[in-house]
């Protein structure tokens, strides 16, 4: 008899509680504003390039419409904290000669946050989103590596926001 009573209580209580896996964005967020990222580097073009890529991809990937900051339900904002070009792939030169760089790598790091303006809470933030893009020294420009890094950076922002829910 105790088993039946316990089973009835469990069934009754299960009707009062439902579990729904979280989703990003929360249901009340339909629009998002993308703000230009602050730029702490000496590469002035970065702010515009990152802004364009975030604006083009983040709202769509998160299932939101873009809106102005004054009417949006949420905002994306951030800061570009690092930009560097390194040579991860090179061939040592003969004695007395310089090394031959074969490939260069563009490293970009940003701090980013997505803020729910309706409930005034931070939905997601990451202070060190980093991405790398490569380019061949002999046949490609730094822009190739930079654009690859920016594309990967935006994908990491989308993935990070979605993985939080």
Phi, psi of 119 (to 5 degrees): -100, 0
What tens digit of pLDDT does each residue of 57-88 get? 999 999 999 999 999 999 999 999 999 999 88
CA dist 73 and 116 (Å) reads 6
User: Helix or strand or coil: residue 97?
Assistant: coil
What tens digit of pLDDT does each residue of 113-124 get? 999 999 999 999
Superfamily of domain 23-163: ABC-type transport auxiliary lipoprotein component (3.40.50.10610)
What tens digit of pLDDT does each residue of 90-100 get? 777 778 787 77
* DSSP letters spanning 4-45: HHHHHHHHHHHTT-------SS-TT--EEEEPPPEE-SS-TH
In this structure, are residues 107 and 130 in contact, taking their beta carbons and an 8 Å threshold? yes
Contacts 24+ apart (CB under 8 A), 51-54: 53/150, 53/151, 53/153, 53/154, 54/154, 54/157
CA dist 57 and 161 (Å) reads 13
What tens digit of pLDDT does each residue of 106-151 get? 999 999 999 999 999 999 999 999 999 999 888 999 999 999 999 9
Q: Closest Cα partner for 79 from 107, 46, 30, 116?
A: 46
In this structure, are residues 108 and 146 in contact, taking their beta carbons and an 8 Å threshold? yes
């Amino acid at each position: 008899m105790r088993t039946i009573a316990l089973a009835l209580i469990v069934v009754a209580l299960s009707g009062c509680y439902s579990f729904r896996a979280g989703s990003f964005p929360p249901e009340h967020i339909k629009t998002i504003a993308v703000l230009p990222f602050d730029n702490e580097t000496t590469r002035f073009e970065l702010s515009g390039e990152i802004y364009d890529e975030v604006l083009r991809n983040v709202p769509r990937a998160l299932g939101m419409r873009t809106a102005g900051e004054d009417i949006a339900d949420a905002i994306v904002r951030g800061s570009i904290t690092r930009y560097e070009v390194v040579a991860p792939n090179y061939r040592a030169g003969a004695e007395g000669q310089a090394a031959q760089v074969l490939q260069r790598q563009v490293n970009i790091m940003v701090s980013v946050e997505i803020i729910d303006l309706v409930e005034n809470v931070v939905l997601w933030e990451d202070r060190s989103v980093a991405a790398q893009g490569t380019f061949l020294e002999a046949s490609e420009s730094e822009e190739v590596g930079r654009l690859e890094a920016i594309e990967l950076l935006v994908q990491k922002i989308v993935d990070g926001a979605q993985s939080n829910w």
